[in-house]
Structures are given as structure tokens and as C-alpha cells.
Amino acid sequence: MTKKPFLLLLLLLQFAFVVQAQQEPVDLEVVNRIKKEGLENSKVMETAFYLTDVNGPRLSGSSGLKRANEWTKNQLASWGLKNAHLEEWGEFGRGWDIEKSYLAMTAPYYQQLIATPKAWTPSTNGLVKAPAVLVTVEKEEDIQQYKGQLKGKIVLLSEPREAKTTFEADARRFTEEELERMTGAAEPRQRSADYEQRMQQYRAMMQLRNKVADMMKEEGAAAILSTRGGTHGTHFTTNGAPYAVDAAPALPEFEMGLEDYGRLARLLKANQKVELELESKTKFQDEDLKGYNVVAEIPGTDRKLKSEIVMLGGHLDSWHASTGATDNAAGVSVMMEAVRILQALGIKPKRTIRIALWTSEEQGLYGSRGYVKQHFGDPATMKLTKEHEKLSAYYNLDNGTGKIRGVYAQGNEAVMPVFAAWLAPFHDMDAKTVTSRNTGGTDHLSYDAVGLPGFQFIQDPIDYNTRTHHTNMDSYDRLQADDLKQASVIVASFIYHTAMRDKKMPRKELPKPRTAS
């Protein structure tokens, strides 16, 4: 194709997009009411306070998550939503709670250290006072040099990484140029030439780590210290042992930031004697191994359409080093606020609006996958239920505290002009971008996997990837109140218009069964 016909085709497509967007009805009177309620009478930060400061960390299966399940269910019911309940999605495994945690260096001088026990690791045997030792294993033969050297010791598991100073701000917003680039076609992802070699190296590294872990248990090490990065007092955290009931026992393990870990490692490498004292008291929750989502509804009122569903949600579970504010109390608070706004305005939607707050997203989207499999279909076989035809769309929020700048269409070209029309009243609030691109990593994918319209909003990153995501700094203080208010009114408007639309949202072609090859 020559350049001029191509440019002409592009202009025609853009014109058709604008025309279709103009044809999509937008109820500006309701939009303005939503804005007034959501900006002047917002409860979003109050909800976030209860989710974070009051309920605390919400690790899957933990007592904190159970508290949050009950609190959100009751709060939604208090706002007048119907059928608020906990819905089992399947078996998860053991819950886990921290009851006590302490780590300090006692020689060559005393210094309390910032650290968090890894999830699903056991308690120490009371207060442990022991020398530290640095274990560096690059190949299997290196393991032998530590035989007989680790009994009763506190082990630093790897060489320290440098805590580099950065001259860039932790927090940022998308520029107009970045958002404009999002609207272009995404570069096709291709595996690099050395992909298989890198995968082999990764598998070999994991096998070596497992052998080192076995060696430390056999040798009788008292505890492990490790780091996944983080600076200025921040450290990342994850699980240090499986949550399955039949999981093999692990050693107590603490995760640290680069500064504290690096200090200990440097002293040891300089042959300085390092002594530590630490204690963790953790508790496994074995009495109920099931996982539960929180579900509630605003019933539809149209005789023909009330059996159809519009869904919105976000994941309620978090990691345990802080209170899971930006991941994902922010998203949950916005979705709860969106239905509160609609309820406060006395909206009578044609379709039923259903909010779902997922659990165990952090371990693999378990809550939403279980729900979708029970209600809509199995992506492995693509055997679909009758409810599959009844869902119009699902909207998700799970990328931190930043304001909404637009929406990912997830490859569904037909919804793009619809979304463009619905965003038009929010251009003055910096929400303009509609991109056909996919985005991954959270619960809308469970819907997309069975061919249902599932969407995630574009959010300003703020300090999500640099400071708060899965860290000990993910607290209420990191939430941006004005951004969450802005997001709440946009979500409320999207939900309203989806519920009132004459037709359900357009769908993509059904995916093939995942078991098919």
C-alpha cells in the first residue's frame, strides 16, 4: 500500500471512531450528579482507613483478611446493597499471621534492624541469639564448604546488592506524550534469541536454591535473612514457604531492605564478628482452608434486562509487611465508593450491578478465577454456563492510588468508541485515553479468559512501582485522596452507563480452550 492511501484509511477510521463515539448516549445530568456526590460527599478515604488502619494486613487466609471480608460485607449492606454475602470460591490452604517480630544486631554494636518474616514461615524457637554467617553459593560444589558450619547460625543468603542513589522522584504521573503513545499499536512481543538459554539458567538457579535450602535445614541453621531489594527503609516481601497443608517445613526467614542487609554483609566480608538476636512468632490458620469473595448487588429494575449483570471489583487481599493500601485497598475503596454513590443517588439501573471483592489475587487470581469458573465458564474447556450470556462487562481497579487517565480496551476494538464517549465528560479531570492494548496481572484477566468483556483502567503510577507495591511502606499515608475521588466518579459513571445501555457491551471472539493444542 502506498503512503497516501494508507493515511487516507487512517483518517477515515479515526473519523468513524469519532462519529460512533458521538452516537453513544451519555446522560450528562446523571454524570453531574455523580460528580457532585463523589467529590463533595466522598467516603472513599473513610473506607480506605477501615480497610488499612483498622483491619490491618490482609494476607490470604489470615485473620486480617477474615476481618476485612466481614467488614466490607457489612458496610455494603449498610449502604443498602442487596444479597451481601461471602461466597466460597474453592480451597486455598493454610492462613498465616504474625504475632511477634523482632530483629537487631548486638555486635559489633546494638542496632535495631527493619525486617519482616516471610509469609508462611514458622516461628523461631523463642528469642534466638546467634552469630551471623554469609553463605555464597554460585554452583553446587560451593555447598560443601558450609557443611558443619551453620548449626545454630543466622544465615545471610546471598551477596548484597548496592543500594544506589537515584536522582529521579519516586512518584510520577503519565505525561500526555506517554498516554498518546499508548493509543498506538503495541509492539508485538517476541521471544529473544537467548530466551531458552535464560530459562534454563533460571531453572538451574531455582534447583540450586532448593538444594541450599535443604542443606541449611539439614545443618540446623537457626534462621535466614534475605533481601529482594528496596531502599530508604523500604523492603519487598513475599512468601517464604508454601501455604499448602502438606508443605514441607521451612526455616524461619526475614526479608530486609538493601541498607540493613548490606551493612551486615559488608561486616561479615571484612571478617568482623556479627551477632544478632531475633524472634518471630507466627501462627498457622488450619481450621478453614477455603477462600471467600465478598459479593453484593444493586438489583436491576427493567423487566427484560434485570437478569443481566454489570460487574465491578478489585482484590481485597494484600501482603503482610504493611496494610496493603495501594495494593489494593485503593481499588477496593474506589469500587465500593462507586456503588455507594449510585446507591446514594437512588439510581434504578436497568441491569443488576454486582460488586465482587476478590481474595487470593496475590497468589494467582484465585478468587476471581474460581468465581468465573463457577458462574461463567471454564477456560480450560470453554464449557460455558447460562450466566455467560447474561454478563455485560466487568471493570477492575488494581494499579495503585493514581487517578484514572483512561481505560484499556483489552483488544476489544468495538468498545473503544463507547469508552471514548463515556470519558468525554471527564476530560477536565485528565481522563481521556482509550487504548486497544491489553494489560495484565490482575482480575479482569479471569473474565477475558472465557471471552467476557473484562477491563482495567489506566492509572497514574505515582510511587506504586518504586515504593509501595508489595512493600512495608504500602500504608494509608501513601494514598492520594483527590485521585481516589476522581477514580470513584469515573467508575460510577462507567457502571451506570453500562447498566443503562440498550445493548450489552460488545464482545470479542471466544478464545479457544486452553487444553487444546
Non-local (6+) Cβ contacts of 33 within 8 A are 345
Instruction: Note whether 146 and 213 are within 8 A (CB).
Output: no
pLDDT digits (tens, 9 = 90+) for 381-413: 999 999 999 999 999 999 999 999 999 999 999
Cα angle 332, 180, 421; round to 5: 60
pLDDT at 514: 85
pLDDT at 21: 57
pLDDT at 20: 57
Instruction: Note whether 22 and 14 are within 8 A (CB).
Output: no
Identity of the amino acid at 126? G
pLDDT at 191: 75
DSSP class per residue in 308-339: SEEEEEEE----SSS--IIIIIHHHHHHHHHH
Cα–Cα nearest to 259, from 59, 422, 369, 113: 113
pLDDT at 38: 98
Ranges under pLDDT 50 in the chain: 1-3, 6, 9-10, 13, 517
pLDDT at 270: 97
pLDDT digits (tens, 9 = 90+) for 274-283: 999 999 999 9
What is the pTM for the complete model shown? 0.94
Q: Which domains does the chain have, with CATH numbers?
A: 26-92+289-500 (3.40.630.10), 96-183+193-282 (3.50.30.30)
